[in-house]
Amino acid sequence: MATHEVFNQPPPLRDYNVFDADQALRDGLRREGAEWAAPRARLLGGLCGSAEVIEWGVQANAAPPVLRTHDRYGHRIDEVEYHPAYHRLLEQAAAHGLHALPWREPRPGAHVARAALFYLQAQVEAGHGCPISMTYSAVPALRANPELARVWEPRLTAPRYDARFRPATEKSGALCGMAMTEKQGGSDVRANTTRAEPADGAWAITGHKWFCSAPMSDAFLVLAQTPSGLSCFLLPRWRPDGTRNRFFLQRLKDKLGNRSNASSEVEFDGAWAQLVGPEGRGVPTIIEMVNHTRLDCVIGAAAGMRLGVAHATHHAHYRSAFGKRLAEQPLMQNVLADLCVESEAATAAMLRLARAYDARGDEREAQFARLATAVIKYWVCKRWPAHAAEALECLGGAGYVEESLLPRLYREAPLNGIWEGSGNVICLDVLRAMTKEPEVVEAFFAEVERARGGDHRLDQYAADLRDDLRGVEAIEARARELVERMALVLQGALLVRDGDPAVAEAFCASRLGGQHRLAFGTMPPGFHFTKIIERSRPAL
């Protein structure tokens, strides 16, 4: 009805290039040795910012997957139906190498390039990233069995997504999942009861898994007990004779977020599988996969922060209240700049971590990655939920409405902090690494040391932290505090050394200098808020 004119509303944030709009990502891609991938990132960035692809993400979440346990005649089929938009997202991801780029093109900067591409597409929709991430991460674990890797690696790295439910030998591309946790153990996988027994040159696995995401994948890395202890296996959905494997889906989880992705409970009843790595060494074998998926948890959380910043700064640029634009009001500027600083710190850490994975022949870089992956995974994933809530609030009531996309982002945010080790598990892993491998601490602080002299607050913060790490009194109870400080000092060092000066100054003053309270928007006045915001705001 023509009762009023619609005005003072921002235009929809769509039909823009997500890569071109992200100065921190562009700078980091060049800094971390993957500038050669900028044309690829620009191409994918244009797709991810298009109205069509953004709508795929909306559709995939509005119509969650459906489990079909039986066909019309009563035969078990154990299949999951997805919305067509979910398949389109996976097609786009595979075509751009998000699942395999470093393995197909093992060149300098390949992990950095892949991280940037994954970060771009994660801003469209997070759920389809699960099978993409697990497929990428499975390859280094499978290489523990070279014969198995020769068969499966070409399938998993093929630049195509093939949604058909049929044996991998008949498909143009394959995906790999992971099934580790059980209901009685959770993160304590050594409490697993699923067992594996030798059977005709392979193994027969019987038991259950409490979480098995992306159950329509073509194969899964699975942990099961053998007489020698917990071991790692590759379990395909189809047996070599072309029959369906003894893999039964009990139900799909009704989750808080990540709704486009099917997470299931699964039973194995003598399922055919092959051993990956030495028998009894399941955890060290599958940890190669876990380390890479932890990296992806960081990438996904950094991507979520970036999406929140894009929407918040875009809205504030166009929306007016009390006589002037939101982006011109000092308190809103503080909030927006604080969100931008947090986002840039996460992006810088994500890309630096990815570079460490590119340098696996360098022992020092491997030591850095061993500790920094866990440290940054803990902190960036812990910060995302609060960041998402504040970004949503910047839009007011409009942000609480589903069409804004911010509610989906908010529901998604807690997940990365749980996947691949919840906060306590990650912090205990950090303590374990520092105790068993003291050299990783030196590698970590060597990275921080490269920024020495760049900011006096950073130097003092790093010195105080090193002193505290030498003490062992009640160290387990203090693990979260110490890991948080480690993450902050690393982010500060990266920003001081290579980041935008205004962002680095604001980060050090607020995060390291003690001039910050618990909520976003509490940075001390006097910084270049407008410059920080405009650096992050996507321009249509």
pLDDT tens across the length of the chain (540 residues): 789 999 999 999 999 999 999 999 999 999 999 999 999 999 999 999 999 999 999 999 999 999 999 999 999 999 999 999 999 999 999 999 999 999 999 999 999 999 999 999 999 999 999 999 999 999 999 999 999 999 999 999 999 999 999 999 999 999 999 999 999 988 888 889 999 999 999 999 999 999 998 999 999 999 999 999 999 999 999 999 999 999 999 999 999 999 999 999 999 999 999 999 999 999 999 998 999 999 999 999 999 999 999 999 999 999 999 999 999 999 999 999 999 999 999 999 999 999 999 997 899 999 999 999 999 999 999 999 999 999 999 999 999 999 999 999 999 999 999 999 999 999 999 999 999 999 999 999 999 999 999 999 999 999 999 999 987 677 899 999 999 999 999 999 999 999 999 999 999 999 999 888 999 999 998 899 999 999 999 988
Secondary structure tally for the chain: helices H, strands E? 19, 11
What is the rounded distance in angstroms from the CA atom of residue 124 to the CA atom of residue 119?
Answer: 9
pLDDT value at residue 472: 67
Do 39 and 386 form a contact (C-beta atoms < 8 A)? no
Rounded CA-CA distance 134/469 in Å is 34
- Residue 276 has phi, psi (to 5 degrees) of -115, 120
**Helices within 437-538 (DSSP H only):** 438-449, 456-469, 479-498, 501-507, 529-536
Non-local (6+) Cβ contacts of 51 within 8 A are 12, 14, 15
d(CA 345, CA 25): 11
CA atoms of 356 and 398, how far apart (whole Å) = 41
Q: What is the largest CA-CA distance in the chain?
A: 78
The label of the residue with tokens 């006589």 reads 323
Cβ(444)–Cβ(371) below 8 Å: yes
Please classify residue 423 by burial: count the beta carbons closer than 10 Å to its beta carbon, then call 0-12 exposed, 13-18 middle and 19+ buried: middle
Question: Helix or strand or coil: residue 40?
Answer: helix
- Could you give the dihedral angle defined by the CA atoms of residues 505, 510, 513 and 514, in that order, rounded to the nearest 10 degrees? 170
Q: Which stretch of DSSP H or E encloses residue 33?
A: none
Query: Any idea what DSSP says for residue 402?
Result: G
Task: Write down the pLDDT at residue 522.
Answer: 96
Domains with residue ranges and CATH for the chain: 23-280 (2.40.110.20), 284-536 (1.20.140.10)
Element containing residue 49 per DSSP (H, E): none
End-to-end Cα spacing for the chain: 30
Short-list 300, 346, 291, 320, CA closest to 137: 291
pLDDT of residue 65: 98
Element (H, E) at 192: none
